Amino acid sequence: MIPYHAATIALGCFVLSAATASAVAAIPTQLVAVQYTTVSAELPGKIDRIAVKEGERFKVGQELVAFDCVLQQAQLDEAQATFGAAEKSKEVHARLLELNSAGTLETEKAASDAAVALAKLNSARAVTSKCMIAAPFSGRVVEQKARAHQYIQAGQAILDILDDSTLEAEFIMSSDGVRSIKLGMPIQITVDEVRKKYPARIIRIGAKIDAVSHTIKIVAEVRGDHPELIAGMTGHVQLATPAAASKRPAPGGIHLE
């Protein structure tokens, strides 16, 4: 009987035990921001100012872009004045109705006019509120796509912004190893640009395997606060994927169990 530890290279052949082996794969990965968006104009008009430049940081709610809204502000002032007059007329007619000095129809007409004026005022306020774009989250400016004093159309892109407070690492791996990947599984990511390793954990596994390439997308969250990391940096993830060991006969027809 040959002992278990006697599995060695012999006559150019080798024997692997039936125990599970591990194949370590270095998988390319890229850091991406959790939140990112393109800030666009909701109204056609001229940009009055852009308060942030490329690469600069901003806080949630901070002004990013302001438009020249002289016309819209004038329309708002007109709507406020119209509503004030209509509301006063409604109150007067209501009082006259109490004194039997005005008809019901006239009083209802005054109330209806006040309601229409209020609707127009709210509409003017909604338009004017679009004259300033506030930051939807804290982050940085990636790219400026328009300039101050430029006339733009509704829907035209002005700024690309992202939130780099939390970064994720996306990578594509072979579907053969997906069974070894579990949610919450800790991994290490080596970032090429800074030549350092960072802890991360698996937070999402793709819902579908690509039938052509036999790959699946995996997303990991970089743990901790690392100011030196920037979205777009690349690196690799080292994963130990189980590989079933081959059983080959040893010289003399002896099998290792």
pLDDT for the residue numbered 104: 83
- Bridge partners of 32, per DSSP, are 168
Strand (E) or helix (H) holding 103? none
**Residue 247 reports pLDDT greater than 50:** no
What pLDDT, in 10s, does the model give residues 24-59?
678 999 999 999 999 999 999 999 999 999 999 999
- The fold adopted by the segment(s) 70-130 is Helix Hairpins (1.10.287)
- State yes or no: pLDDT of 67 exceeds 70: yes
What pLDDT is recorded for position 98?
78
Instruction: Indicate the burial class of 227 (C-beta count within 10 angstroms; 0-12, 13-18, 19 or more).
Output: exposed
- The sign of the dihedral angle between the CA atoms of 181, 187, 191, 195 is negative
> Domain map of the chain by residue range?
20-35+162-246, 70-130
Angle made by CA atoms 11, 14, 20, in degrees to the nearest 5: 170
Give the predicted TM-score (pTM) of the model.
Answer: 0.70
CB neighbours of 115 closer than 8 A, spacing ≥ 6? none
Question: What is the rounded distance in angstroms from the CA atom of residue 53 to the CA atom of residue 39?
Answer: 13
Per residue in 200-236, pLDDT (tens digit) is: 999 999 999 999 999 999 999 999 889 999 999 999 9
Residue range 20-35+162-246, CATH number: 2.40.30.170
